[in-house]
Structure 1
Amino acid sequence: MTTDKSAIRNAATVIVLRDRFGDPSILMGQRGAAAAFMPNKFVFPGGAVDATDAEIALATPLPDMCFARLSEQAEPGLENALAIAAIRELWEETGLILGQPGQWNGLPPEDWQSFAAMGFVPSAAALQFVFRALTPPGRPRRFDARFFLVDAEAVQGDLDDFSRASDELSHLQWIKISEARNFDLPFITEVVLAEIAARATLREPPESVPFFLNNEEASLFQRLKGYPMPMQD
């Protein structure tokens, strides 16, 4: 069976923010020249949700607000799969761990065996849902991407050790937000960067999450609020 490459796939992207209240920087890498999607561009770690992501248990769940906002205009049950995809993609593409020390129940799936061998189980406690974007029609790949912000202090281990990363992204590096636009970025990454720059030093989540919706009719900005019920004090 062949895969319909024009189909819209759910995806998760991770923006790791370092020195948030000083001179903040973000972790980015360069996609290969032969990549079908955004070749040569500097991007955040991320990728499509796999079918098995929904089967992986989280040691710590998503924060209530994050879960509620992910639920808005999304199919039921997708929230945890997106969180798992974000943690998995960060590990695969950078070798950095979002998790807590612990042992897995049974043999981990193949994609998670190297993560588990480090002595960790995935945790979504540090994920902050900050942006959603749908790839415009006519592109070779289309994704419904959710962008998660993570404070670098939540990452386990050495923030400068990328030795366990796959080769999907090259030139992994911490880039100051003030200098990021000097790199070859996709348009949507520039839009997300503006959002991150505006909220980097905010300690409380904003009132809503931007949703850049591209369809056959128009490109629209919507806002996702997703207040959890009941409201938390």
Structure 2
Amino acid sequence: MSQPFDARADLADSPDVGARVRPRDAATLILTRSRAGQAEVLMGRRAPGHVFMASKWVFPGGRVERGDYTAPFATDLSPDELALLEREMPERRARALALAAVRETHEETGIIVGRPAPARSLAGPWRNFLSTGHQADLAGLRYIARAITPPGRPRRFDARFFLADADAMDLPARTDHGDELERVAWIPLDDLKDLALPAITRFVVGEVRERLAGRDPGRPFIRQLHGQHKIDRL
């Protein structure tokens, strides 16, 4: 069974400062692997001083950029995953979310979720990724959750969470990662209970456990309505 969502902790993660900010599309990629019979996930600890979830352990991700709508890719999302996303949005936007998840993962952790391709010189956010001689590999991404940051926060995102099995991919060697995450590590799922995780991250970890166990409870959609957190299954 999926674990309950801790609404009180979610509000504490990013207090209401009365800001009037519209949510921006964002995407997160949760990479898993198995080592010595244990499931591990790729995570990073955000640097202190961030206005959004400072010093918390999170999955790599970030907002969608304009370049994500036109970036080349080696493999597309599966027809089933595209169909799930197209219940909520046009195909082009769905693919841009998946591409943003791959790009942000590379920017923050150095991991290249891609397949070999001729190196390209392209201005914009995909410059570093494409210069490695790869294009995004979207075939293994699964859409598992959606969450909107509550109103009043200094940063608000309408985030989709994707899950992928790193063991099923031929991931190239890791490159240097940026400075948004002060540490990047593969962490056993059983060790996450001892880390400082945002409430939404802790909840999504429960969703990951469900899927690794072969269950699909549907995609949770977490947001706040009239001051109360609400969770539906898409």
Pair 35,15 (structure 1): closer, same or farther in 2 beyond 3 Å: same
Deviation (angstroms), 1:99: 1.0
* 1:107 counterpart residue number: 121
Secondary structure of 2:102's counterpart equals helix
1:37-70 alpha-carbon deviations (Å, 9 max, x no partner):
1111110000000122111122211011211222
Q: Please tell me whether residue 138 in structure 1 is matched to residue 152 in structure 2.
A: yes
Letter of the 1:143 partner, please give it.
F
Q: Which residue of 2 aligns with 1:16?
A: 31
- Name the SS for the 1:13 alignment partner: strand
Which residue in 2 is equivalent to 1:77?
A: 92
Question: For the residues of structure 2 that align with 1:83 and 1:155, how far apart are their CA atoms?
Answer: 18
Larger mean Cα displacement after TM superposition, 205-214 or 79-88: 205-214
> Does structure 2 retain, via aligned residues, the 8 Å contact 1:26–1:177?
yes
Unpaired runs of 5+ residues, structure 2, are: 1-18
Q: Distance in 1 between matches of 2:80 and 2:35?
A: 21
Match of 2:5 in 1: none
Q: Which residue of 2 aligns with 1:210?
A: 220
TM-score (norm 2): 0.84
The count of corresponding residues between Structure 1 and Structure 2 is: 215
TM-score by length of 1: 0.85
Describe how 1:49-64 pairs up with structure 2 within 5 A.
Answer: 49-64=64-79
Question: What SS is found at the alignment partner of 2:190?
Answer: helix
Percent sequence identity over aligned pairs: 38
Q: Which residue of 2 aligns with 1:43?
A: 58
Q: Is the 8 A contact 1:29 1:169 kept in 2?
A: yes
Question: Cα deviation per residue 1:149-176 (whole Å; 9 max; x = unaligned)?
Answer: 1111225124xx4x51111111211111
Q: CA RMSD in A?
A: 2.1
Letter in 2 for 1:70: L
Task: Look up the equivalent residue of 2:151 and give its one-letter code.
Answer: P
Which residue number in structure 2 is paired with residue 228 of structure 1?
none
